[in-house]
Amino acid sequence: MYGLTIRWSLTHAEHGVNEVLRTYVRGESLERFSDMPGLHLKVWQMVDSGFFAGTYLWATPEARTAFLENFRGNPSKVTQLVGHEPDIVQEWDEVGIAIGAEGFPA
């Protein structure tokens, strides 16, 4: 699989951006990425007043590249909410996944 991490610093974002991002993920972004062709998994991460990130696992390098081309060509909603472009856009290769005894909640 083919990974991608996109991360924004929140250290200088406006007060309240953490809740705005949570609302965006639950109300808009989850639906957008659910059942997206070429995508195995997306995880949203946040440390309050620290950072906000999306971590993706793509089925093919072509799917990852197509997503990145679209991402770079269109302003991200997160960029608009945070007030600046991502600090990190990193492509990487997945080398292993372990599913623990607890599995994943629905």
pLDDT over 70, % of the chain: 99
Residue 88 has pLDDT above 90, yes or no: yes
Predicted confidence band at 46 (pLDDT cuts at 50, 70, 90)? very high
**Predicted pLDDT of residue 106:** 62
Q: Which residue has the tokens 């991200």?
A: 76
**Spatial separation of the C-alpha atoms in residues 36 and 15, rounded to whole Å:** 32
Residue 27 has pLDDT above 90, yes or no: yes
Residue 19 has pLDDT above 70, yes or no: yes
What domains appear along the chain, each with residue ranges and CATH number? 2-93 (3.30.70.100)
The DSSP element (H or E) to which 48 belongs, if any, is none
Predicted confidence band at 68 (pLDDT cuts at 50, 70, 90)? very high
Residues in the chain: 106
CA atoms within 13 A of residue 60's CA, in its CB half-sphere: 5
> Residue 10 burial by CB count (10 A; 0-12/13-18/19+): exposed, middle or buried?
buried
